[in-house]
Amino acid sequence: MVPGDRVGVAVSGGADSVALLRLLLEVKDELGVVLSVVHFNHHIRGAASDSDEAFVRELAGRNDLQFHHSGDDVPSYAAAKRLSLEAAARRLRYHYFESLLRTGVLDRIATAHSLDDQAETVLLRLLRGAGTRGLAGIFPVVNVETPGGLNRQIVRPLLQVRRSEVESYLREIGQSWRDDATNLDLHHARNRVRRTLLPLVEKEFTPAIRERLSHLAELARAEEEHWDTIVRQILPEISSERLGISIPKLRAHDVAVQRRLLRAAAEHLGLGLEFEQVEEVLSLAASSARGEKQIMLGEHWCAVRSGDRLCFERCGRTATEDTYEYLLPVPGRVIVPELRSAFEARIVSRADAATCPDQMLSPRVARPLTLRNWRPGDRFFPAHTKAARKLKELLQAKHIPHATRHLWPVIQSGSEIIWVRGFPCPAHHLATEGDDHVLVIREHPASEGAQ
């Protein structure tokens, strides 16, 4: 936190969050921050949830703090998304927190996770078979991306403080709090860890188990930060969104690096891989089988090997899914959300074209241009070839992975395809030696401006 920050304190009404608010009220002038209260009503306990909201609202008012609040029907959302109540509540709660940060209402949101929360999280993930990333537990600071690239964060100031210390502090200052009856329900795994497993380990093995689990999380976080730096450097060298993962380049690394690279490539697509799934994908990459082969990764994803390329794709896609078609003005620029790319068509001097001759189109190409994904039956006649061929065959010969093949962009002038990503343009549409100016088509990441 820095002076001038607008800091929202996430207050549920429980002891930890109420203590965090009271502590920050004591030091807000010293820190130079502007405090407010943030509350999300999960509607899990009916009238009790509403009473929690009323308690927090009154607490904010008594301290002259702005009250940000929202809520949702977590039980219904959990059922619809097939999530546990805890996972559904966390997802919706953090969606709200992040919206406050992304829209600039707040600069920081402080949550009241304690050392006990950290220990419970690490132990739960250990029991579920997590690797070092899972064992990193709850991060002290989480950066939230904003449209303007501003520095917005979720912070956890109490991660080194025991829950018992928090409650003692509240009793000393005479501050009440709300108890959540669901914390007593042993149906939830976290409650069984909190009330049964950790007390047992403290009694029978070591009273310092919570501190040791917290230390383990710190070690795991440092390991992850180290590995993340390495993976960020290597991943662009072996993988691209368009072509997938190069198997020879992947297998040139040690197996520990291979595992990290596969997880990172999958996470970029929104797919989280378990250890067993990573091993299956490694076996697929090591397979000597020719042709195309795939393995299922749960209900909705599969890994596909085609030639020396490996990619992750959603399963069960229909022929009509993800089709797109846009007009591309000349000169002009169009964003294609399906590709997360922007396409730009410009008439430039031959000297400024900065591209190879087989990408310099004649400025006399008929307009308008249509930018779309290729479709079955499309034919294309690349320069330096003897005849037009089915585009499907050209993409297969180039070993374009299925995950990106169905969205592969083409540009059409009239009834003819004059441009295909990764191929030379048709010879009869290229600029001639007498053309001082040429038509150039470029593709950029959508986040970049026109160049």
How far is Cα 77 from Cα 364, in angstroms, rounded to an integer? 56
* Beta carbons of 171 and 33 less than 8 angstroms apart: no
Which amino acid makes up residue 339? L
- pLDDT, residue 449, reads 43
Q: How many CB atoms sit inside 10 A of residue 60's CB?
A: 22
pTM score of the predicted model: 0.65
Residue 292, pLDDT score:
74
DSSP alpha helix (H) spans, 182-271: 189-192, 198-204, 209-238, 247-251, 255-268
Q: Which residues pair with 328 in a beta bridge?
A: 369
- Rounded Cα distance between 34 and 6, Å, is 5
C-alpha gyration radius of the chain: 28
Query: Domains plus CATH for the chain?
Result: 6-209 (3.40.50.620), 241-314 (3.30.465), 325-445 (no CATH)
> What does 17-35 look like in DSSP terms, one character per residue?
HHHHHHHHHHHHHHHT-EE
Q: State how beta strands 66-71 and 34-41 pair.
A: parallel
Name residues of the chain where pLDDT drops below 50. Answer: 318-320, 448-451
271-304 burial, b at 16+ Cβ within 10 Å, e below that, comes to bebeeebbebbbebbeeeeeeeebeebeeebbbb
Measure the CA–CA gap between 372 and 360, rounded to whole angstroms: 20
What six digits make up the tokens of 113? 């996770």
